[in-house]
Amino acid sequence: MNILSEMAKNLVIWMIVTITMMSAFQSIKYGNDHKITDYSKFISQINHDEIKQTRINGREIRVLKNDFSTYITYIPGYYDVNLIKSLSEHNVRIIGEYDNELSFISMLLSWIPLIFLIGIWGSMLRQIQDGKGNPLSFGKSKARLLKENLNTTLENVAGCDEAKEEVSDLVEYLRNPSKFEKLGGKIPKGVLLVGPPGTGKTLLAKAISGEAKVPFFTISGSDFVEMFVGVGAARVRDMFSQAQKSAPCIIFIDEIDAVGRQRGVGVGGGNDEREQTLNQMLVEMDGFTGNKGIIIIAATNRPDVLDPALLRPGRFDRQVLVGLPDIRGREQILRLHMQRIPLSSDTNPVIIARGTPGFSGADLANLVNEATLLAARANKKLVFMSDLEKAKDKIMMGTERRSLVMTEKQKEVTAYHEAGHTIISFLVPQHDPVHKITIIPRGTALGLTCFLPETDVLTFSKEKLESKISALYGGRVAEEIIYGIHQVSTGCANDIKLATNIARKMVTQWGFSEKLGPLLYDEEGEGFVDKSSVLAKYISEETASIIDQEIQKLIEHNYQRARNILNENIDILHAMKDALLKYETINALQIEDLMARREVRPPKNLDNEKNK
């Protein structure tokens, strides 16, 4: 789009210049040295034999009278068919001239292709030159040098304490290199930051440069590769040449997998542009000519596709894992982002951190921003805990679909379904605490039961997994008890899928079957034995039949357990349904009232009491 807009701009400029010059030429050639007379008066003078000579140029007529005075007149419309006849009858000399208007238009039209070609050529030349005015500048590095405003430090990075500790010696080396060199120590030439998207790899690299107060070159892996062979390698050489002048410094290559993929596996063998660029980068990092004082930091979320030569000692000596933050890390990240917004006294980042397992730093930043937008939309002066909860629910479960019309019957079925999940999860051992229940549709779900883990769960026991299966079937069992087997809805489809998948993994991968023992019968996947897998040929039909029986046994046992629990607490099931129909959303304190068979307290001021 930039190239096309630049071409259009140049074309317009050239056309304006051309029109101006032609207009000036016209005004010089045909200046206003004659007065203009009405055409009717001209016809009258012809009839009275006062005209000696006429020069006709299109609609323009330059008239010479018998007294040698002159004037100009114009034919109305496009043509007067009787004019020539009338002039001939009165012996007026007629001189025809070429139409100047047509001449000007023809000349202008003949110039347009030339102007257009000049504009295209100029745009292509600027693209090749990359705006630097040098025909060979396309081989220059696109790395941007940041010397100032590097205010990001390690204090601005949270949720990755181990990664910060790994890179702290880089900062110390850049500050005081002699401390390491006098003992013969060598700082790693390259550091590879590995982790999922949004975990803060780029932020960590900027923090290293900010702490060390050294120049910081930043470039993306895709900036090296062009359609011209050899350009990428030239840019690598130029980047290291510039960095050597600013040493000690840091070169940060984001998404290095764009240029560092394993060689010999793509199209073109070893002669394509990407591999040429990678070869040059390998030589610059560890070749005959050392680049002392240059530390390369690269980031990727796909280390498995990188070339082995790039990962060997001497190049990227150190790999730093920047993983998803744990509950403590999420709390630190939330506090970091909450520093810039006005908060109410009821906000509790610990609760938000507990309810956001698997969130990255970018996800948590987005959560805080969404809460700020919700508070601003409601014309609040502070961001409250309720805004943070709504933002979390919006990100995790989707926007509330209050416009979706549900009948009273559908609401009642949804309320019984979610109440069944809640009661089972509350009474089975080792299940995560219930945070809240809602029958307000979100996304594709008509209702949701939200859990709040006390800590991040790293491993699961057999008892915890079976409790999860029972809780998943709690919704279907509740519908079956209240409405009968023939009136069970399709709302439990996802619950059945999750429960079956857990049961199959317990039998085929995690060794929780007493009959089959701790053996691997299926590789990691969707939980179903792949007939084309290597393990499939070692599994007999008898073993496959036993696997199915063990899975069915697990499901039936936990399904029956859920039924027994709900039958014993049928009064709580009805009371929880009534509370959901009344309030639409109930939280942990109200659930405790229901499970203790107490009157449900109203939702007013529950957030403040819960935080206390």
User: 285 pLDDT exceeds 70?
Assistant: yes
Domain at 327-396: CATH architecture: Orthogonal Bundle (1.10)
CA angle 342, 348, 352 (to 5 degrees): 105
Asked if 439 and 414 count as a contact pair (C-beta separation under 8 A), the reply is yes
Residue 417 in marked binding region: yes
Residue 152 in marked binding region: no
User: 543 pLDDT exceeds 50?
Assistant: yes
Average pLDDT of the residues of the chain: 79
CA–CA distance, 322 with 287 (Å, rounded to integer): 29
User: 222 pLDDT exceeds 90?
Assistant: no
Q: Was domain 144-263+273-321 assigned CATH 1.20.1050.10?
A: no
CATH code 3.30.720.210 region(s) in the chain: 34-132
User: 522 pLDDT exceeds 60?
Assistant: yes
Residue 77 in marked binding region: no
The predicted structure's pLDDT at residue 355: 83
601 HSE (CA, 13 A, CB side): 15
Residue 421 in marked binding region: yes
The predicted structure's pLDDT at residue 126: 62
Asked if 591 and 422 count as a contact pair (C-beta separation under 8 A), the reply is yes
Asked if 240 and 291 count as a contact pair (C-beta separation under 8 A), the reply is yes
Residue 303 in marked binding region: no
Check residues 282 and 15 and name the one with the higher pLDDT: 282
User: 29 pLDDT exceeds 80?
Assistant: no
Q: Average the pLDDT over 231-246 and give the result.
A: 79
Residues with a known catalytic role: 418
The predicted structure's pLDDT at residue 30: 47
In one-letter notation, the amino acid at residue 220 is: S
CATH code 3.40.50.300 region(s) in the chain: 144-263+273-321
Residue 399 in marked binding region: no
CA–CA distance, 80 with 40 (Å, rounded to integer): 12
Q: Average the pLDDT over 146-173 and give the result.
A: 75
Q: Average the pLDDT over 165-192 and give the result.
A: 77
Q: What are the residue ranges of helices labelled H in 343-492?
A: 349-354, 361-377, 385-397, 408-427, 462-472, 474-483
The predicted structure's pLDDT at residue 6: 56
pLDDT band at 397 (very low <50, low <70, confident <90, very high): confident
Check residues 273 and 485 and name the one with the higher pLDDT: 485
Through-space distance between the first and last CA atoms of the chain, rounded to whole angstroms: 57
Phi-psi region of 133 (alpha: psi -120 to 50; beta: other; left: phi over 0): left
The predicted structure's pLDDT at residue 537: 60
Check residues 557 and 52 and name the one with the higher pLDDT: 557
Q: Average the pLDDT over 142-157 and give the result.
A: 68
Residue 197 in marked binding region: yes
The predicted structure's pLDDT at residue 63: 87
User: 3 pLDDT exceeds 60?
Assistant: no
Residue 196 in marked binding region: yes
CA–CA distance, 360 with 326 (Å, rounded to integer): 9
For residue 555, count other CB atoms closer than 10 A to its CB: 19
Q: Which residue has the tokens 């019968």?
A: 521
Please give the DSSP secondary-structure letter assigned to residue 286. Answer: S
Beta strand residue intervals within 470-521, DSSP E? none
pLDDT digits (tens, 9 = 90+) for 194-214: 888 888 888 888 888 778 777
Superfamily of domain 408-610: Peptidase M41 (1.20.58.760)
Check residues 269 and 399 and name the one with the higher pLDDT: 399
473 HSE (CA, 13 A, CB side): 26
Q: Average the pLDDT over 451-466 and give the result.
A: 84
pLDDT band at 368 (very low <50, low <70, confident <90, very high): very high
Which residues, other chains included, contact 33 with Cβ-Cβ below 8 Å and sequence gap of 6+? none
pLDDT digits (tens, 9 = 90+) for 292-304: 778 888 888 888 8
Residue 232 in marked binding region: no
pLDDT digits (tens, 9 = 90+) for 378-390: 898 999 988 898 8
pLDDT band at 323 (very low <50, low <70, confident <90, very high): confident
User: 112 pLDDT exceeds 90?
Assistant: no
Tell me if the bond preceding 113 is cis, omega within 30° of 0: no
Q: Average the pLDDT over 341-356 and give the result.
A: 87
Check residues 598 and 178 and name the one with the higher pLDDT: 598
Cα–Cα separations (whole angstroms), residue 54 to 44, 98, 130: 14, 14, 60
Q: Average the pLDDT over 568-572 and give the result.
A: 93
pLDDT band at 564 (very low <50, low <70, confident <90, very high): very high
CATH code 1.20.58.760 region(s) in the chain: 408-610
pLDDT digits (tens, 9 = 90+) for 84-104: 888 888 888 888 776 555 555
pLDDT band at 465 (very low <50, low <70, confident <90, very high): very high
Domain at 34-132: CATH architecture: 2-Layer Sandwich (3.30)
Is residue 526 classed as helix, strand or coil in its secondary structure?
coil
Closest CA to 327 of 504, 495, 159, 490: 159
Check residues 53 and 292 and name the one with the higher pLDDT: 53
pLDDT digits (tens, 9 = 90+) for 254-269: 888 888 888 776 544 4
Cα–Cα separations (whole angstroms), residue 117 to 2, 14, 213, 292: 17, 12, 49, 49
Cα–Cα separations (whole angstroms), residue 55 to 47, 59, 64: 18, 11, 9
Residue 434: strand pairing partners: 451
Q: Average the pLDDT over 4-25 and give the result.
A: 61
Asked if 248 and 181 count as a contact pair (C-beta separation under 8 A), the reply is no
The predicted structure's pLDDT at residue 604: 60
